[in-house]
Amino acid sequence: MVAAKILVVDDNKSVLSALEILLQFEYSEVNTISNPNQISSYPNLASYDIVLLDMNFSAGVNSGNEGLFWLREIRKKSPETSVIMMTAYGAVDLAVQALKEGAADFILKPWNNDKLLATVKSALALRNSKKEIDSLKKKQHSLKQHINKGNDFIVGNSKALNQVMNLVHKVAKTDVNVLITGENGTGKELIARELHLSSGRKDEIFIGVDMGAVTESLFESELFGHTKGAFTDAKEDRAGKFEAAQGGTLFLDEIGNLSLQTQAKLLSAIQKKEIVRVGSNKPIPVDIRLVCATNCDLEQMVADGLFREDLLYRINTIQIKVPALRDRGDDILVLAEFFLSRYMNKYGKSGLRINQAAQEKLMAYPWPGNIRELLHTLERAVILGEGKVLKPDDFLLSNKAANPSTGSPRTLEEMEWLMIQTALDRHGGNYSAAADELGISRQTLYNKIKKGT
């Protein structure tokens, strides 16, 4: 016995009892009504899976209009219920009209029992898959909202930041590719999320990929996906980030760190607006808004033959430059207060404040690691500070900002940082070239940079 609720509506009592007997053998609940006027007030109509509905009720009238009228009523009150129309007068145009208005199927009277049961069965299967799709859509929607929300919002009120935000909101309305540039930790990813959330794609997904963390060998499978068996570890078919971002925004961070070979593959996907999974030869069309970010000087990299000019031209239709924290004036203190209350909450402290001398220290520091460095500094101060007033000594600012030619590193860690910065400066921010010079892998360099700021 299949668990399903079926309602039969027909003014002919013998039709009702014949259908009731037939359907009761197969389905858990079958009810009947002989007067269609009861439909509107029928209890729990929305809980019915199937309604079998006669097309002609008034004796002598067989235009089917009553059936169509009640079909509309049911669809209004319970859009999820599948309605199967029944008529003794097999007019094809009436059937077509009913199907056009949303009926699931059509049965001619007198019916053949097997055929009727088969029709009910497939209408039920359709209704169940619709239900499943609806519930998946709802889940997907709340998942997307959850992912898109992130935990952070943009704090600051400086002129430099406001100019950036104006541009972000202007560009968000279009679908053009955007390149966000700026030093490490200036908030490029946050800006990319804001761009997405202000765009027409805001209800779709935002997928971020850190290109600095994707190895050369995994680039294609990570971005374009793969088919089962395409390589040793490919145990099943997997969609890549382009497909996952379908309809939404794909954010490629650290774009300056791609090799020339991977740049060519990326360019081809962007140009054709389609990808091919590794191990397959079937192109899959993709509809994404592409946002890239970098702390490298891509124009210089083009001049040095390290970045493809045609790729740069594709990704930077609009360029948004995020200012360094030291160029954002009072935002330093506004952000410091913001992080202070965040970490007071996190570590169960209250009433902490930053005194004047400490504020001056924060304002005077050049923040080479920008907002990420500021938030780590505040977190340390909240954890380690004693008493309610945070003083200059509670803010441990590194000597990393020292000018390589004049400042002298005091610790091994500072020496390492200085070497990293010098190598990066020499290679226009390119991780691969800097890592080569330092004799470490690109991944190791990348981890050190992320940890160091």
Ligand X SMILES: Nc1ncnc2c1ncn2[C@@H]1O[C@H](COP(=O)(O)OP(=O)(O)OP(=O)(O)O)[C@@H](O)[C@H]1O
Instruction: Please identify, using beta-carbon distances, which residue of 10 and 222 lies nearer to ligand X.
Output: 222
Nearer to ligand X, 184 or 199 (CB): 184
Q: Does 152 bind ligand X (CB under 6 A)?
A: yes
In the block, tokens 């996906």 appear at 225
- Of positions 186, 199, 359, 377, contacts ligand X by CB under 6 A: 186
Least distance from C-beta 230 to ligand X, angstroms?
30
Window 251-270: residues binding ligand X (CB under 6 A): 253
Q: Which two tokens stand for residue 264?
A: 């060519």
End-to-end Cα spacing for the chain: 65
Helices (H), 304-430: 309-315, 331-346, 356-364, 370-384, 412-426
Q: Does 368 bind ligand X (CB under 6 A)?
A: no
- Which residue, 109 or 372, has its beta carbon nearer to ligand X? 372
Q: In Å, how far from its chain's centre is CA 359?
A: 38
Among 265, 272, 264, 275, smallest CA distance to 309 is for 264
Shorter beta-carbon distance to ligand X: residue 116 or 211: 211
- Cβ(327)–Cβ(160) below 8 Å: yes
> Could you say whether residue 184 binds ligand X (CB under 6 A)?
yes
Least distance between ligand X and beta carbon 326 (Å): 14
Please list, in sequence order, all residues whose beta carbon lies within 8 angstroms of the beta carbon of residue 434, skipping any fewer than 6 positions away: 420, 423, 424, 426, 427, 445
Q: Indicate the DSSP class of residue 324.
A: P
Determine the Cα angle at 38 with ends 36 and 43, to 5°.
Answer: 130
3-state secondary structure of 293: strand
In this complex, which beta carbon is closest to ligand X, that of residue 190 or of residue 244? 190
Closest CA to 315 of 177, 176, 174, 210: 177
185 binds ligand X (CB under 6 A): yes
Among 81, 199, 295, 359, binds ligand X (CB under 6 A): 295
Q: How far is the CB of 193 from ligand X (least distance, A)?
A: 8
187, 208, 368, 428: which one binds ligand X (CB under 6 A): 187
Pick one of 371, 378, 418, 424: the residue that binds ligand X (CB under 6 A). 371
Please state whether beta strands 283-285 and 274-276 pair in parallel, antiparallel, or not at all (unpaired). Answer: antiparallel
Rounded Cα distance, 283 and 228, in Å: 16
- The nearer residue to ligand X, 52 or 214, going by C-beta atoms, is 214
Question: Can you say how many angstroms the Cα of residue 373 is from the centroid of all Cα atoms in its chain?
Answer: 27
Size of the site for ligand X (CB under 6 A): 19
Q: Which residues contact 137 (CB under 8 A, 6 or more apart)?
A: none
Nearest residue (CB) to ligand X, 152 versus 299: 152
Q: Which is nearer to ligand X, 185 or 368 (CB)?
A: 185
Q: Residues 372, 380, 391, 448: which binds ligand X (CB under 6 A)? A: 372
Helix (H, G, I), strand (E, B) or coil at 83: strand
Piece of 119-127, 140-148, 187-195, 313-321 that binds ligand X (CB under 6 A) = 187-195
Which of 9, 207, 375, 390 is in the footprint of ligand X by CB under 6 A?
A: 375
Q: Which of 48, 87, 188, 257 binds ligand X (CB under 6 A)?
A: 188
Our finding on whether 154 is near ligand X (CB under 6 A) is: yes
Interacting residues with ligand X (CB under 6 A): 152, 154-156, 182, 184-190, 253, 293, 295, 335, 371-372, 375
